[in-house]
Amino acid sequence: MKKHSRRNFLKSSMVLGAGAIMPKGLTNMTKISTKSFSDHNRIIIVGAGLAGLACAYDLDQSGYNVLLLEARSRPGGRVRTYRDTFADGLYAEMGAEYVDSSDKYLRKYCEDFGLKVLPAKQYDGIYVRDQHISMKDLKSGKKNLPFNGIKGGKLFGQESAYIQDWIEKVRSLGPSSAEVQALDKMSVADVLRKGGAPQDIIDLYTYTNATESTTISSQMSALNMVLANSETSAFSENTEEGRILGGNDQVPKIFAKKLGEKIRYNRPIVKIEYNEDRVTIYFAENGKRRSMSGNNCVLALPVSILRSIKIDPPFSDSKMHCIRNQSYGHVMKVAMQYRRRFWDEPGSIGQRVFTDTPLRRVYHFSIDQPGPRGILLSFTSGSDAERLGRMNEQRRMKVAQETCAEIWNDAPQYWEGGVTKYWNKDPWLKASYSVAGVGQKDFREILAQPEGRFHFAGEHTSIYRASMNGAIESGIRAFKEIVKRI
């Protein structure tokens, strides 16, 4: 069986099989032009996340005059490694974490920058409806999930039995057929219900798949779910993922170092103006409003922020519609420091546990860092992240502590402290990552489309949406568009 990953599932539904082509620039970067540096030929890039950084880096390496404006005082955006928060030099990923085996753009840069990607551990425990189940027992059929309508022997992909008619239609009519595409008007919950799925299957989907999308099944396009299931068997507990040894923030830091002063930090943009000849970007600098002009601009900031920026004149109606309405979910990471790695000791349910608790996915993060201390990380999303997000830090920690005590009885005696990051309250995101919402099948393509002197990058414009790989892919695509134009 093909191993299917979180990222593949999140991939944009419209372009199955299209597969992006590795740009020449990535493998064989040649200096295509040496230009004079003035605001006439300046390319302004907004956002120093992986999308903006990859684009700026490739343009800079090719001799273009680039300037990158970033609202924060650091590069990386949603790639955020906390380092000083923990004892013994431990670190934790509070944003993007896993690297899929198919993440070719990200992996190529890791290789170029001398960074190792180590395989991550797979789920070995399940804690749902107050029951502890080892993955071994589940896979062997010794134990079943306490949910009605499930198939034994597996955790993920339980929805597939209820959409078989649709999978048949995809095979016989093709994914682009009108009948299949019309699924975009329906939600995952609707289609599962129509297919005879009991409520338990819809509830389980919240934890198996909707968690990764950071939303709920009634807000997710059914098209994505059906296409993902017809391509392979959707999610699998055999997913192979990796993590960058030493922390993901090394990638944006290396890009940023190479760009040096071409990045201007603490410069949030507030307004965009343009005419046929030039673009003017207004931004805040030390409390004052400043402007900068150029002949091209790459907008690589999340649309959850772009929608609050004045654009004069507005972009096309379809682009503005997508900017205003692109769906996002809720997401939070909780890092918990323990004095001892009790999750590896006899009697433990495991070290990477799938749960239906407020913490959802809970796992040993510091696997490749020296003990005895260790960090358990929680990736939680949707309604649970939203609920925790409304609490103060102290209250969130109490929930985290109590939840871990339910999963591992030994946990309380080793607890030392923790920290959360709720991305929906981050001023430069106010969201999670883009989600294929109901009726949004064309959004990704429209958001990626250049308009006049503007190019658009960011995970929301990539077929590999919601990933570091997708952010880089989009930055390289914008770079190629500019090279073709100028």
Chain position whose Cβ is nearest to ligand FAD: 49
Q: How far is the CB of 48 from ligand FAD (least distance, A)?
A: 5
Dist CA 466 CA 12 (whole Å): 9
Nearer to ligand FAD, 356 or 473 (CB): 473
Nearer to ligand FAD, 230 or 380 (CB): 380
Give yes or no for a contact between 38 and 11, defined as CB atoms under 8 angstroms apart.
no
The residues, ordered by sequence, that sit 6+ positions from 287 with a Cβ below 8 Å of its Cβ are: none
Q: How far is the CB of 427 from ligand FAD (least distance, A)?
A: 8
Dist CA 467 CA 458 (whole Å): 10
Question: Which residue carries 């960074």 as its tokens?
Answer: 115
Give yes or no for a contact between 428 and 435, defined as CB atoms under 8 angstroms apart.
no
Binding site for ligand FAD (CB under 6 A): 46-52, 69-72, 77-79, 95-98, 268-269, 300-302, 305, 331, 333, 423, 428-429, 432-433, 458-459, 466-471
Nearer to ligand FAD, 95 or 157 (CB): 95
Nearer to ligand FAD, 162 or 423 (CB): 423
Give yes or no for a contact between 11 and 441, defined as CB atoms under 8 angstroms apart.
no
The residues, ordered by sequence, that sit 6+ positions from 100 with a Cβ below 8 Å of its Cβ are: 5, 6, 7, 8, 240, 241, 242, 467, 469
Q: How far is the CB of 61 from ligand FAD (least distance, A)?
A: 18
Nearer to ligand FAD, 42 or 193 (CB): 42
Dist CA 60 CA 64 (whole Å): 5
Q: How far is the CB of 99 from ligand FAD (least distance, A)?
A: 6
Which of 291, 272, 271 is CA-nearest to residue 451?
Answer: 272
Handedness of CA 198, 200, 206, 207 (dihedral sign): negative
Q: How far is the CB of 408 from ligand FAD (least distance, A)?
A: 23
Nearer to ligand FAD, 132 or 421 (CB): 421
Report the SS3 class of residue 44: strand
Q: How far is the CB of 98 from ligand FAD (least distance, A)?
A: 4
Q: How far is the CB of 81 from ligand FAD (least distance, A)?
A: 12
Nearer to ligand FAD, 117 or 226 (CB): 117
